Structures are given as structure tokens and as C-alpha cells.
A and B are shown apart, each in its own frame.
Chain A
Amino acid sequence: MQTSSSFLTLRRAVVAAVLGAAVALPATAQQRPIEIQMWMGLTGQGGELLTRFGEDFNKTQNEYRVVVSFKGQYPEQRAAAVAAFRAGNPPHIMQMFDAGSGDMMHAKGAVVPVSEVFKRSGMQFNPADFIAPARGYYGLPNGELLSMPFNVSTTVLFYNKDAFRKAGLDPEKPPQTWPQLIDAAKKIRSTNAAACGYTTTWMAWVMLEQFSSRHNIAFGTKGNGRGGVDASLQLANNKLLERQLQTLVDMQKDKSFDYGGRSNDAAAKFISGECAMLTQSSGGLGAIARDAKFAFGTAQMPHWPDVKGAPYATTIGGASLWVFNAPNRSAAEFRGVAQFLSFLASDKVMTEWAKTTGFLPATNSAFKAMQDEGFFAKNPGRDVPILSLISAAKGDNTNGYRFGRWTEIRDVFHEEVEKTLQGRQTPADALRNTERRGNALLRAFERTAG
């Protein structure tokens, strides 16, 4: 065991040294850097920036060499990491999106909680440094963090100010409620200011998860699955969700809403100017700011004003960083992981990340640093996700959910909603079917969850 582990370390070190030499980094015989693999699921601007953070870290020290690589979108990357884990050589760090968290939390033995990684490395780590919603989502009841929040986002409404002006709407007064959004969308259609009024990305994330949080309603038992793996979905007879789906069905008829596909495909419909409003992750800001050829504004996710206490806080999305365990992983490697994670959580990195991409700063101190330098005053609209996530009212059902096989259940919801928008079933059918099919998956998960 000892020999094989030191042999592997040696081999890795040799590989690292060769690679290091190839890119003309000085690697002396005494200080062969230990390679730390990180897999990410981001492309475009976010992916480039995260890769650069890895290079920046490498320049600050020469004990470790971080390699950030893209292995496909989150689901493909996760499948690759699972295969690598079973082969005994998973990446050290893996970025996993919100919906995959429930699966990762029950992957006992495969992941090492982030708090534990720092403890083993003898490094300072205070989970309370992270913003409360992220801590609640990725943490344990005792306050320890399972994964490190990195790209934190929430749902916001982007709207096309030029189209608003053309439709005779006030471009400085975005809709705050669903009735207002419906009116604005109808006006945009009747004046032909845009080919479609409103569309949304991430249907399940926005219309099921965020929508429920915004109105403080539960969509599952046991605190939306936070109470244990035996929790179930509870969607049948959920009148508010039924009303929301019916609203979309009705709006689809005159294109005041137009379905734009799964994941973030619909963002293209907003950026091209086809749709005048879009609910999207706040992390989508970078692409919109870069590619949209019109003035746009940001607003909080709309709510139904007749729901008592609404609007409540939206919940978080985005991704966090998980640390993998493996039989041959040395203490030095975990120390390198901890050092890189603390580098990523530093104010300097966090503020640059948040400013460039539109994701929220994941730590309280980075948020404060951005406030202190007047970033939010200078960039109106950039505080919207923070107001929606942190300042809005909290309830029993605004802390997010924790279900296994959630990526699959999201797709079940997508399928059922698509069928409803095609006019093949009612919103009530869609919710009943999602509950039935989703619960079958949850029971299967419960059987194999450790």
C-alpha cells in the first residue's frame, strides 16, 4: 500500500514535472509540484475565468499545480467522475450543479466534506464566512459544509428596455407580479414590440423550485426532502403551481409566453430580441451583457400578490465544489486541495468572479468588499439577486430542497410540462404525473442510498 501510493505520487510528480517543463515553468528536483485535478462544468466566459484562477494559483506557490479542465456539461462530467472514482482515480475537486447535490450528499465514502478537508490539513476554515442561503443549502445541521459554494446564483427577470419603450411600457418599471408580467407581455404582443412576450430558461428550477420558494410553499414532504431520504414529492392538488402552469398554457396561445426549450436554451430567444422578458439564472448576465444588442434591465422574480406574505426569498442555484476521496490520495494532496479552495474563496478571487459573471459573491466578506468599493451603486441592477436571495422574507420553505435523483426528476417535470403546453393534458395531470413518476425514482434512490 505504502509503496504503491508513493509510486503513484512519484509518477504523478514526474508527469507534473514533465508538463511543467513543457510550459516552461521552473521545476527543481526538490520541488516537484503535486498535481491537483479540478473538473468544471462551465463553458464560455465562466469557464475561461475559472481556468485562469487555476493558473493564478499556480503562480502564487510551487508546491502544487492545479489543472482545471472541462469534461462536459454537469451530467456528462458527473458520469465521467463516477467512472473515474470507480476506477480509483477521481478528480480531486469536482464542480457540481445544485440539482446534483442530493446525490452527492449521499455518496458516503466517495466525497470528503469540505470542512473535514480543511480540518485534516490543519487549515483555518469558517463555514460562517459563506452567505447564509448557500450555507443552508450545502451544509449540515451542525454548521459544517459538505461542499464549498462557488458559483451561487438565483432566478431573476431580465427585460428588454427597448421593447418596453416600443410597447409604450415604462422601461424603468419592470413587472413585479405575475399579473403585471402578463399585462406587459400582452401589450408587447398587441403592439408587436417583440415576437414573444416572455420566456424562461430552466423550467423546473424556475417554475417548481424558485416559484415555490418565492411563495413559501412546499413541494415535498419532510421539509422538501431535507428531513431524510424517505421524503416524497407532494405536487398533486397544489393549486398555486396549477395556476402558474395554466397561466403559461394560456399565454402560449398568443405567444405572450413562448416555450424556449430545456436548460438555458431560451436565453438565445431573449438575446436575439425575439422575447422581451426572460427568467434566468443571475449567472446568465455575462452572456446577455456581451451579446444583447439592446438596453436591458434586471428585476426580481415576479410573485402572485394574493399569496399571503409573498414575495418570499428565492432560493439558490449554481454549483458548488465537492472533494473526492480515493484510496491512494495522500495527505499532501488534500492539503493542496484545501489551499486552492481557500484561494478561490479569497475576496480577491470571489469579487472578480462575481463582478465578471453575474454570479453572487459566495462569501460575506466578498459581498462587503464589493459594497465598500461602491460596485452596486455604480452598477444598478446588480444588487437584484442579492435582494431577492438575502433581503427578502424567509419562510419554512425558502431553504431549498434536498432530493436524490433530482436531475432526472427535473426532466420528468420538463416532459410533463411540455406535454401540457402541447395541449395533451391539463396542468393538474402534469403535477399528478410528476409526483407519481418522481416518487418512484425517490423510492429507488432510497433503496441504494448509503
Chain B
Amino acid sequence: MQRRVVFPHKLLPWLLLAPQLVVTLVFFYWPGGQALYMSVLQQDPFGANVQFVGLENFRLVFADEGYLQAFWRTLYFSFAVTVLAMVPALVLAVMADRVVRGSVAYTTAMLIPYAIAPAVAGVLWLFMFNPSIGVLAWWLKALGVDWNPTLDGSDAMWLVILASAWKQVAYNFLFFLAGLQSIPKSLLEAAAIDGARPMRRFWTIVFPLLSPTTFFLLVVGLVYAFFDTFGVISAVTQGGPAAATETLVYKVYKDGVHNLDLGGSAAQSVVLMLMVVALTVLQFRFVERRVHYA
């Protein structure tokens, strides 16, 4: 016989869930439904002439040479941002974990970038790397690098990658640090007594035990790079030059807000929604299997 806890109230669970449900409905399902609905319409911006066109907007999106290019560009951008945000964060977290005195001040200082809005972070980097007035651009030029993100597509791409990754390092750092601190000291001490050096202890004990954290940060990082980097791109390059930094989410914004192509923009959002679903399923199906939970 299994013991079951029975709650007599039918209403109470719903009441407790209500705030979250309302938020989800209003901010996720409603706009999502709107996007689905608008993706099968073609209309003028003012809504005076609305036509049902079935899947034509989707056909147009996939027939657009720029769209496929934006897709591969987004993958490149997202992986670069995620890796560049995770590796330095892990190194810094390992360092911070060893700091005995003043670790709170050090940790706090590390967290500041996360509190900066993406657009502001973008503008900061834009100024530092501005070919005319930027201090870092000046150093690069002194080193003989022909730095020109206004015209050179890969310079522009690296600028938005660095600006986007920099902000996320702080977030990853915090999680890695918490992950490191939850690794039992006894394991590390036992390994040390057995003669394992710091590098070996890191790769055989720390890194595997950190894998749930790493996996979580990978998912969050990819989603961040896919969607939340819009502010950085908008502030730094506006997708240019020659669409070199136009990611999928920036294209949705540009076509919807700047160009007022509501149907095309909605169709792109729907494609993006499906992509996120696929990405998340893939990650949990295949990547998670290799993760060790302590």
C-alpha cells in the first residue's frame, strides 16, 4: 500500500498557481498566438488592407537568400558568445575559489558587468573600439591591425561577440563559483593525498562534478546569445556592415519595426520559436545524458 497525501481543496492549488499562470498566458501564450495569427496574413502597416495568404510568408522567408545566411551567422555567433562567456568565467571562478582574503569584494567586482543593460554594454564597447576615438582601437592600430568595424564584416562580428560575451561572463562566473563551492573538500583532499596534482584534480574531479552547472550554463548561454543579444547588436552595428552582424532575432526586429513588414516578421518569429523548441529538446536528449549529477 502506498501512502498518498490528499489535499481536500480543489481551488487552492489553482489559486497558488494563478500568478504564474497569468504571467505565462499574458506574456508568452498571447503574443505567441498573435505571432502565429499574423504570420498567415499580409497587411499594410496601418491595418487597412489585410489579406489571408496561408503559408506564403513562410515561403518568402525561406526563399530569401539573406535568411539562410542569417541562420548560419546566428549559429556561429551563438557558439562563439557561449564559449567566450564560459571559458573565462570558469578560469576566474577557479581562481576566486582559491582566494582566502577579500573574496567577497573580488566576487562582487566580478558581478558588476551583469548589472549593465545590454544596450549600455554595447555602447561602452562601441566607444572603446570606435576607429576614430576608441582607446582599444588606437592600441590595435598601434599594433598594426587595420581595425575598421564600420566596413569590415568580421571586425564588426568580433566586436558584437566580445560585447555580448563580456556581459555574460559575470553570470557564468557566479554559477561556476557556487558549483565549485559545493564540491566536497574531502574528495579533493583524498585525491591530493593520493598524489594528484592540481591540474589532474581539476580534470578528474572538479570538471566532471561541475558538469550539471556547465550544462545549465550552456543552455542558458545559447538562449541568451540567440535572443538577448539584440540590444548589443542594435547599439553597436545595427546588423551591418553588409548584414555581417544581422542575426535572426535582429532580422525579426528590423523587418517588423523598421520595415513594418508585419507578416514576414511574424513568420520569422514563428520559425525562431520552433528553433528554440528543437534546440532545447536536442540539448536535453543528447547533451544531458553525458552529464553527471552528483
Contacts and interface: CB of A to CB of B under 8 A. Distances in A.
B141 to A, nearest CB: 11
Nearest to B50: A448
Contact of A450 (B48, B152, B241, B257): B48
B113 interface: no
B288 to A, nearest CB: 40
Contacts, number: 84
B150 A78 contact: no
A448 B238 CA distance: 27
B132 A448 contact: no
B46 interface: yes
Contacts of B241: 259, 261, 418, 422
A106 interface: yes
Most buried by B among A85, A110, A448: A448
A103 B42 CA distance: 16
Interface stretch (A31-39, A116-124, A266-274, A308-316): A266-274
Contacts of B178: none
A415 B242 contact: yes
Contact of B150 (A79, A106, A260, A448): A260
A109 B48 contact: yes
Given A76-B257, A78-B260, A408-B259, A422 B242 contact: yes
B14 to A, nearest CB: 32
A268 B48 contact: no
Contacts of B43: 448
B189 interface: no
B46 A109 contact: yes
Interface in A133-177: none
A447 interface: yes
A107 interface: yes
Contact of B48 (A110, A252, A424): A110
A272 B132 CA distance: 8
Contact of B46 (A85, A274, A407, A424): A85
B44 A106 contact: yes
A420 B251 CA distance: 22
Contacts of B132: 268-269, 272, 274
Nearest to A259: B151
A107 B260 CA distance: 13
Contacts of A110: 46, 48
Contacts of B280: none
Interface string B83-119: 0000000000000000000000000000000000000
Interface string A72-106: 00011011001001100000000000000001001
Contacts of A408: 258-259, 261
Nearest to A260: B150
A107 B240 contact: no
Given A82-B260, A259-B150, A274-B132, A107 B45 contact: yes
The interface residues of chain A, by DSSP majority, are classed as helix
A415 B243 contact: yes
B258 A407 contact: yes
B38 to A, nearest CB: 12
B37 to A, nearest CB: 14
Contacts of B150: 259-261, 265
A432 interface: no
B46 A82 contact: yes
A108 interface: yes
A2 B258 CA distance: 36
Contacts of A444: 42, 261
B242 A447 contact: no
Interface in B228-258: 238, 240-243, 254, 256-258
A103 B45 contact: yes
A387 interface: no
Contacts of A222: none
Contact of A407 (B151, B153, B259): B259
B51 interface: yes
B240 A415 contact: yes
Nearest to A90: B46
Contact of B258 (A75, A85, A414, A450): A75
A106 B261 CA distance: 15
Contact of A262 (B42, B49, B238, B254): B238
Nearest to B41: A448
A303 interface: no
Interface in A410-425: 411, 414-416, 418-419, 421-422, 424
B133 interface: yes
B242 A405 contact: no
Interface string B45-66: 1111101000000000000000
6 contacts: A79-B256, A79-B257, A261-B241, A272-B132, A405-B261, A422-B153
Given A405-B259, A422-B152, A450-B44, 18 more contacts: A75-B258, A82-B46, A103-B45, A107-B46, A109-B48, A110-B46, A261-B150, A269-B132, A408-B258, A408-B259, A411-B254, A415-B240, A419-B242, A422-B242, A448-B42, A448-B51, A449-B44, A449-B49
Interface of A: 75-76, 78-79, 82, 85-86, 103, 106-110, 252, 259-262, 265, 268-269, 272, 274, 405, 407-408, 411, 414-416, 418-419, 421-422, 424, 444, 447-450
